[in-house]
């Protein structure tokens, strides 16, 4: 069975948050619930140049997800393709999955009293589409979806091209 991954190239991220907007719209996420979050990780000034690094927080659909094991209601399951999904109808709101997730990638919807997390837009994936956050909305083109090995190869090539270009152009 094909395995899926969502990988964000944080070196290229501008922090535009279009992925957050696309996700929120696609999943009708209520106020306060973020299935993907982008935030400023580091800010520095070196040689009078400002450098900002952005980070994102999103479920990485672990090979052995702690959230699945922690749920007493079995409301979280891992599909054969690796996508970890949550059944809101079964969730009892105990928040054990939130505590179990080492990546802090599970939110709590206070309106429905249930936990929520990225489900890789499985309703789209099942219809041959890609998750909303990766569907050409990222201005920096740093969100990738598909086979993990293919993605890593593509990111490595992108960084190599960037380094070659920087070496040819040189400092300004």
- Residue 170: pLDDT band (50, 70, 90) is low
How distant, in Å, are the alpha carbons of 22, 76, 118 from that of 114? Answer: 21, 12, 14
Backbone phi, psi, residue 10, to 5°: -65, -25
How distant, in Å, are the alpha carbons of 78, 119, 121 from that of 127? Answer: 18, 14, 10
Q: Domain containing 129 — which CATH number? A: 3.30.70.20
How distant, in Å, are the alpha carbons of 38, 67, 112, 142, 172 from that of 18? Answer: 9, 27, 25, 11, 30
Residues spanned by the domain of 56: 5-169
Task: Tell me the mean pLDDT in the region 136-162.
Answer: 87
Separation of first and last alpha carbons in the chain:
49
**117 with 105: CB under 8 angstroms?**
yes
What angle (nearest 5°) sits at the alpha carbon of residue 56, between those of residues 97 and 110? 40
Average pLDDT, the chain: 91
- Give residue-wise pLDDT tens across range 63-78: 999 999 999 999 999 9
- Give residue-wise pLDDT tens across range 90-130: 999 999 999 999 999 999 999 999 999 999 999 999 999 99
Q: Hey, what are 88's tokens?
A: 């809101």
What pLDDT, on the 0 to 100 scale, is given for residue 114? 97
Cα Rg, the chain, nearest whole Å: 18
Question: Percentage of residues in the chain with pLDDT exceeding 70?
Answer: 95
What pLDDT, on the 0 to 100 scale, is given for residue 144? 92
Please, which residues bridge with residue 54 across strands?
40
Look at the chain and report how many structural domains it folds into: 1
């Amino acid at each position: 069975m094909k395995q899926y991954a969502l990988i964000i190239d944080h070196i290229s991220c501008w922090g535009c948050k279009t992925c957050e907007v696309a996700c929120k719209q696609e999943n009708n996420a209520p106020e306060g619930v973020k299935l993907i979050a982008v935030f400023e990780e580091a800010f520095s000034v070196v040689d009078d140049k400002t450098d900002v690094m952005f980070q994102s927080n999103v479920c990485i659909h672990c090979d052995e997800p702690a959230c699945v094991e922690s749920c007493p209601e079995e409301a979280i399951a891992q599909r054969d393709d690796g996508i970890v999904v949550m059944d809101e109808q079964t969730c009892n709101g105990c928040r054990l999955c939130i505590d179990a997730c080492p990546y802090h990638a599970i939110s709590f919807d206070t309106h429905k009293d249930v936990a929520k997390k990225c489900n890789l837009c499985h309703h789209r994936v099942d219809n041959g589409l890609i998750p909303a956050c990766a569907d050409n909305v990222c201005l920096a083109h740093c969100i990738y979806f598909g086979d993990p090995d293919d993605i890593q190869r593509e990111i490595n090539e992108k960084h190599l091209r960037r380094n070659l270009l920087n070496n040819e152009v040189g400092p300004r």
